[in-house]
Amino acid sequence: MLVRCIRAFRPGGVLYRAFATVRYHQRGDPADVLRLEADDDVSELGPREVAVKMLFAPINPSDINQVEGSYGVLPTLPAVGGNEGVGEVTAVGSDVTRLAVGDWAVPMPAAGFGTWRNVGKADVSMLQKCPSDIPAEYAATIGVNPCTAYRLLRDFETLREGDTVIQNGANSQVGVAVIQMARDMGVRTINVVRERPPGDNTVELLKSLGADVVVTPAVLGVADDYAEAVAGLPPPRLGLNCVGGSIATSVAKQLDEGGALVSYGGMSLRPITLPATILQDKGVRCDGFWITRWTQDRPREEREAMIADVAEMIKSGRLRSFLERHRFTQFSQAMKEARKPYRSRKVLLDMSR
């Protein structure tokens, strides 16, 4: 991966770093295909265009899948990497009324506006105003993971206080948002995380956020051990799956009669297989969720209201994320970190460094 710093001189003679855009011209391993290129020219704007200076942008699993070519929606090549982030509006075209200079803007999911860049311009329909009274790091990650958790807890089962939700990949950023939003609703969570390496504090971290039970796949797979771990909790009404394979099957087996299994990711790259009895006898329903499809199907105002709601949770301290800042100038290193297993922190690119 060719990522180096482009150096330039400011008129005053002070050396500064004008980092640029991480782009790919063919799909493949991010380590091979991502290239550093010069920033786009944002000096001339069309009437519907908006120019932004990017502040922060995460590296999400879906960004990596998109570069590899294995994601549900693929941008036309060449493409700029990254789908999430927050930018400050620096200029707007003559017809733009929804955004103004100084606003913070986040891209609409899978709009095709790559976020791994210092500056960029886009049609106003690709961007959405974001509250600027939350930390910029949180704004950069508000549009996908917390919104997914928000929908997963509302759209598939009517959850009441005292109900239980079970989820795998519970230490993913979607998972930690599920834990905190469920806690706010009075809903208990059973959280499945892979066996951790020595010294890892993921279990303590999840419990500090309000996780009621944290178990490994091994415990989930042994009836007596699982029964002991979840003693006192009602069988879960909702199961959330972002892993697939045998862990998805185990989650489905714990569901209450008539409960729902909702898949939103496939981190293990394995298919989900379910015994017929789960569907026939227990009447478990299976569904899927994709925030991109949801955004396309729903009015913009509904998404704006959801983001405002999530921003309130952030402001009041009810929703925390675990983010690890990396310099954009060290993109290669940041990408290596993002691809490592057993991380409980999202890699976030700081575009100013």
Residues that bind ligand NAP (CB under 6 A): 60-62, 144-145, 148, 169, 171-174, 194, 242-243, 264-265, 267-268, 289-291, 341-344, 346
For 152-220, give the DSSP string.
HTTSSS---TT-EEEEESTTSHHHHHHHHHHHHHT-EEEEE-PPPPTT--HHHHHHHHT-SEEE-HHHH
- Closest among 321, 340, 19 to 141, alpha carbons compared: 321
Spatial strand order of the sheet with 260-263 comes to 213-215, 188-192, 164-168, 238-241, 260-263, 285-288
Minimum CB separation of residue 88 from ligand NAP in Å reads 24
Minimum CB separation of residue 329 from ligand NAP in Å reads: 22
Q: Which residue, 124 or 176, has its beta carbon nearer to ligand NAP?
A: 176
Angle made by CA atoms 52, 56, 57, in degrees to the nearest 5:
100
* Least gap, CB of 319 to ligand NAP (angstroms): 14
What tokens does 197 get?
């390496």
- Which one, 152 or 230, has the nearer CB to ligand NAP? 152
Point out the catalytic residue in the list 24, 71, 226, 264: 71
* Closest CB to ligand NAP among residues 120, 266: 266
CB of 284 to ligand NAP, least distance (A): 20
71 part of the active site: yes
Q: Which residues contact 291 (CB under 8 A, 6 or more apart)?
A: 109, 144, 147, 148, 151
Question: Measured from the CB atom, is 45 or 294 closer to ligand NAP?
Answer: 294
For residues 318 and 184, the answer to whether their CB atoms sit within 8 Å is yes
Q: Is 50 or 179 the residue whose CB approaches ligand NAP more closely? A: 179
* Number of residue whose CB is nearest ligand NAP: 265
Min CB(66)–ligand NAP separation in Å:
10
Which residue, 61 or 235, has its beta carbon nearer to ligand NAP?
Answer: 61
Look at residues 126, 122, 145, 146 and name the one whose alpha carbon lies nearest to residue 52.
122
**Of residues 54, 18, 16, the one with CA closest to residue 36:** 18
Q: Annotated active-site positions, please?
A: 71
